A and B are shown apart, each in its own frame.
Chain A
Amino acid sequence: MQKLADLLIQKIPALQPVPVDFVYLGVQVVFALVMLMAFVAPFAGIVSWVERRIAARMMDRVGPNRVGPQGFFQWIADGIKSILKEDIIPTAADPILFRLAPYLVFAGMFAAFVTIPFSSGLIIADLNVGIFYLIAVTSIVVVGILMAGWASNNKYSLLGGMRSAAQIVSYEIPAGLAILVVVFLTGSLSIQDIIKGQGAYPWQWYLFDNPFMPVAFLSLFISSLAEGNRTPFDIPEAESELVSGYSTEYSGMRFVFFYFEEWANLYLIAAVGTALFLGGWQIPPEVKTWASALGGVVGFTLPHALEFATFFLKSAVIVFIIIWIRWTLPRIRVDQLMSLCWKYLTPFGFAASLGVAVWMVVFPQGVMSVRYALCAGAATIVLYFFYRVAYQVWYSRQPIHVNPFV
């Protein structure tokens, strides 16, 4: 970021009398806006379309396919429709809180993207408390949801808001413990430092650093699902019980803000998992040297583009898995949700952090053979899983498409 700002000051004479700090600030704000508007907003929209298409495939339906090629512009059509809808505020609602709630939810989500890196250079602000800031700022979402539930003056909304608050606050703890484990290994809270501590190849990832890391990763993944209100933890907006939970009374664009938050949150969950455990944007150093050696504009942009693609692909895989889980599993009950958090995830989180601490004392340099073994184990599990999927697809193929009327 600083380099870019320096370049601008050199090239544009009008900027030279302006204090340097202002230029830095201006560049950063403009970059933040571009990143959020050009990446996060379309991503949330496109993911809504992707999710609907994937869900349709799983359900043996077609899904939205009318607007544009394969229905790609469905999300734009939905957005326009929502803006044109009447914005209804119930008479009995608290008008100020009712209006404020969607913005809080929206702001909490967008503010979290400030510390999410897209490549080694593409980051809005590389805070030295990056991951801590991220946890703190996403908690604003809870306030918004609780506010929405209370201000709607609807009993379903209230129940939904309460459930959501209880759920998100509880699951911060296992999530925090899992993140703490990574902070042990790195010795830094900055997300860029955490990624720099890993490498491009799977055995260099923190996920396979020692036997306790997969536990921490799973615990983080499950907690993120719960914090993001995704199935099997979507009880705050459980349609069959609470109609639509805290967003029952909302309509038009305010309603979209809640769903926007949910889909943007998908990427956030995936990005945090990728950055902390799956090597982030790291590409093999040989590739990076080769790309930088091209020189000129290409040499400057290509490494960043490759890093961005790596990071994005890893995140996209996680996003797909989350969508997959959502359309497969039933949801669990409130008390089961709480017992999962307090009886299983939290103790496992503590055990993992203790294990990692001991491991770091016993093997300060790490053990390469353990890393290779864990990596091979994970690969075996994934391969076996795909074998099972292929087998089941083959097994159920012939009967499924028999049409009795042919």
Chain B
Amino acid sequence: MELNTEEMLLNMGPQHPSTHGVIRFVVKTDGEVMSAAVPDIGYLHRSIEKIAEKATYNGFMPWTDRVDYLAAMNCNVAYAMAVEKIAGIEISRRAEYLRVIAMELNRIISHLLAVGSLGMDIGAYTPFVHALREREKANDLIEELCGQRLTYNYARIGGVIYDMTPNWDAKVLAFLEQFEPLLNEFDRLLTDAKILKKRLGGVGVVTAEEAINYNLVGPNLRGSGVKWDLRKDMPYSVYPELDFEVPVGTGEAGVLGDCFDRYNVRMKEMRESVKILRQCFERIPAGEYQVKVPKKIRPPAGDVYVRTESTRGDLGVYLVSDGSDKACRVKFRCGSFNAMSIVEKISRGMMVADLIAFIASLDIVAPEIDR
């Protein structure tokens, strides 16, 4: 007798506990081993780039929060930098420092959620809640700075909207003081857990060559051992004055470029962010936090491309101006979109459980894919 087996087509998503938003994966599976997982995107398309052509330069600022809601500050700043560059606006140094402080706090907030939800996706619930607890404290600080907890809308063309409140720096430093030991505790609970290393080590290996070919950016690229960080390599804002390391993957749990490396890069980046924040508070000068800009900004015709290092990597803003008070074209270039493209290649012959870990380790945020 001959046993016939056939492949099962499993629709993972758009609503699924581990896709973190509305993404769909069409999984071809034979039992536990998949032959391919094809990502299907577009469920969260909100035409943000089209809206940019209909709104004034200042009016579009709140929409940039929604490009990547977990790194709203980075999107704010990237867009503001693009407009400032094309309109030739110089902002004050205090505003630069305030932006960097807010962006690095945002990086901690975003990475905490990334590593926490990776833990949850492979079954460890407790670290996720511990990460969220720390995230809440950081959110409280951000709320005091700009009045919002998720979609900050903090940067303005020509600076930032508010100066920091009195004594805010002391509160942030107090938070960092207790946050660093908690990172160690998080390491003991999750990073050093043998099961985690077994689950993530050697799984979803992206070689450095593949990572570059598929245009992976940020921690995903650095996890493959490529030392490329726009804050160091194409410096902007006040980053050249600050002293920090760029952590890269080491392959300590298996092969270089596996899920554990990407996870560990994020853990190390949080420590670097703490270092950057401390330096910023030492160096931040007094002065204006906003320069005078005309109410209706009419930049000269032309185009400009600005690259920043967001939490999910290279966040590029391409802006074309035709001289009116509305942009002619705005294009966001986001890390998650590229990360999705490699899923199909790497997932061949993977197990279903590994796919979940792989997607979580890429730190994909659904709205950033579609915009």
Taking the closest CB of chain B, its distance from the CB of A153, in whole angstroms, is 13
A235 within 8 A of B: yes
CB of B195 within 8 A of CB of A59, answer no
CB of A329 within 8 A of CB of B195, answer yes
What per-residue 1/0 map shows which CB atoms of A81-114 lie under 8 Å from chain B?
Answer: 0000000000000000000000000000000000
Chain A's closest residue to B15 (CB) is A243
A187 within 8 A of B: no
CB of B195 within 8 A of CB of A330, answer yes
A241 to B16, CA, bound (A): 8
Enumerate 5 A-B pairs (CB-CB under 8 Å) in ascending A order. Answer: A235-B353, A327-B125, A330-B196, A332-B199, A404-B171
**With known contacts A240-B123, A404-B137, A330–B199 Cβ distance under 8 A:** yes
Give the interface of A toward B (CB within 8 A).
55, 58-61, 155-156, 159, 162-163, 231-232, 234-235, 238-243, 327-336, 392, 396, 399-400, 402, 404-405
Chain B's closest residue to A156 (CB) is B10
B362 within 8 A of A: no
Chain B's closest residue to A402 (CB) is B178
CB of A402 within 8 A of CB of B195, answer no
CB of A330 within 8 A of CB of B122, answer yes
What are the 9 closest A-B residue pairs judged by CB atoms, nearest first?
A331-B123, A59-B129, A240-B18, A330-B124, A399-B178, A402-B178, A240-B121, A404-B171, A399-B181
Taking the closest CB of chain A, its distance from the CB of B277, in whole angstroms, is 13
CB of B17 within 8 A of CB of A60, answer no
B324 within 8 A of A: no
A59 to B32, CA, bound (A): 32
B302 within 8 A of A: no
CB of B193 within 8 A of CB of A329, answer yes
A336 to B356, CA, bound (A): 16
Taking the closest CB of chain B, its distance from the CB of A386, in whole angstroms, is 17
Instruction: Find A240's partner among B120, B130, B141, B177 (CB 8 Å cutoff).
Output: B120
B119 within 8 A of A: yes
Chain A residues with CB under 8 A of B354: 333
Chain B residues with CB under 8 A of A163: 32
Chain B residues with CB under 8 A of A335: 32, 351
Chain B residues with CB under 8 A of A331: 122-124, 195
Instruction: Find A239's partner among B17, B133, B140, B199 (CB 8 Å cutoff).
Output: B17
Chain B residues with CB under 8 A of A55: 125-126
Chain A residues with CB under 8 A of B240: none
What per-residue 1/0 map shows which CB atoms of B319-363 lie under 8 Å from chain A?
Answer: 000000000000000000000000000000001111010000000
CB of A162 within 8 A of CB of B198, answer no
B69 within 8 A of A: no
Taking the closest CB of chain B, its distance from the CB of A120, in whole angstroms, is 40
B51 within 8 A of A: no
Instruction: Find B123's partner among A162, A234, A392, A402 (CB 8 Å cutoff).
Output: A234
Instruction: Find B175's partner among A235, A334, A404 (CB 8 Å cutoff).
Output: A404
Chain A's closest residue to B196 (CB) is A330
CB of A60 within 8 A of CB of B351, answer no
A99 to B221, CA, bound (A): 50
Query: B-side binding surface: helix, strand, loop or mixed?
Result: helix
Chain A residues with CB under 8 A of B129: 59-61
Chain A's closest residue to B188 (CB) is A392
Chain B residues with CB under 8 A of A328: 124, 126, 189
Q: Which of B72-124 contact A (CB under 8 A)?
A: 119-124
Chain B residues with CB under 8 A of A330: 119, 122-124, 190, 193, 195-196, 199
Instruction: Find B352's partner among A59, A159, A336 (CB 8 Å cutoff).
Output: A159
B182 within 8 A of A: yes
What per-residue 1/0 map shows which CB atoms of B145-189 lie under 8 Å from chain A?
Answer: 000000000000000000000000001101101100110010011
A329 to B174, CA, bound (A): 31
Taking the closest CB of chain B, its distance from the CB of A159, in whole angstroms, is 7
CB of A241 within 8 A of CB of B353, answer yes
Chain B's closest residue to A231 (CB) is B123
CB of A404 within 8 A of CB of B195, answer no
CB of A333 within 8 A of CB of B199, answer yes
A240 to B17, CA, bound (A): 5
A55 to B125, CA, bound (A): 9
Instruction: Find A402's partner among B18, B172, B174, B189 (CB 8 Å cutoff).
Output: B174
What per-residue 1/0 map shows which CB atoms of B4-47 lie under 8 Å from chain A?
Answer: 00001010000011100000000000011000000000000000
A327 to B133, CA, bound (A): 16
Chain B residues with CB under 8 A of A396: 181-182, 185
**With known contacts A231-B123, A240-B356, A241-B356, A334–B351 Cβ distance under 8 A:** yes
Taking the closest CB of chain A, its distance from the CB of B68, in whole angstroms, is 22
Chain A residues with CB under 8 A of B185: 396
Chain B residues with CB under 8 A of A234: 123
Chain B residues with CB under 8 A of A332: 195, 198-199
A159 to B137, CA, bound (A): 40
List 20 additional A-B contacts (Cβ < 8 Å) besides A240-B121, A329-B124, A404-B172: A59-B125, A59-B129, A159-B32, A239-B17, A240-B17, A241-B353, A242-B352, A328-B124, A330-B122, A330-B123, A331-B122, A331-B195, A333-B354, A334-B353, A335-B32, A396-B182, A396-B185, A404-B141, A404-B171, A405-B140
Chain A residues with CB under 8 A of B124: 328-331
Taking the closest CB of chain A, its distance from the CB of B53, in whole angstroms, is 39
Chain B's closest residue to A327 (CB) is B126
Chain A residues with CB under 8 A of B196: 330
A231 to B125, CA, bound (A): 11
CB of B16 within 8 A of CB of A243, answer yes
Instruction: Find B8's partner among A60, A155, A334 (CB 8 Å cutoff).
Output: A155
**With known contacts A243-B16, A329-B124, A404-B140, A336–B198 Cβ distance under 8 A:** yes
Chain A residues with CB under 8 A of B122: 240, 330-331
Taking the closest CB of chain A, its distance from the CB of B282, in whole angstroms, is 19
CB of A334 within 8 A of CB of B32, answer yes
**With known contacts A60-B133, A155-B10, A241–B119 Cβ distance under 8 A:** no
Taking the closest CB of chain A, its distance from the CB of B109, in whole angstroms, is 14
Taking the closest CB of chain A, its distance from the CB of B24, in whole angstroms, is 14
CB of B182 within 8 A of CB of A400, answer yes
Interface centre among A329, A335, A336, A404 (most CB of B within 10 A): A404
Chain A residues with CB under 8 A of B137: 404
Chain A's closest residue to B11 (CB) is A155
Chain B's closest residue to A403 (CB) is B137
A243 to B120, CA, bound (A): 13
Chain B's closest residue to A56 (CB) is B129
A231 to B119, CA, bound (A): 13
Chain A's closest residue to B175 (CB) is A404
Chain A residues with CB under 8 A of B133: 60
Interface centre among B122, B174, B199, B351 (most CB of A within 10 A): B122
CB of A241 within 8 A of CB of B18, answer yes
A59 to B128, CA, bound (A): 9
A238 to B172, CA, bound (A): 38
Chain B residues with CB under 8 A of A241: 18, 352-353, 356
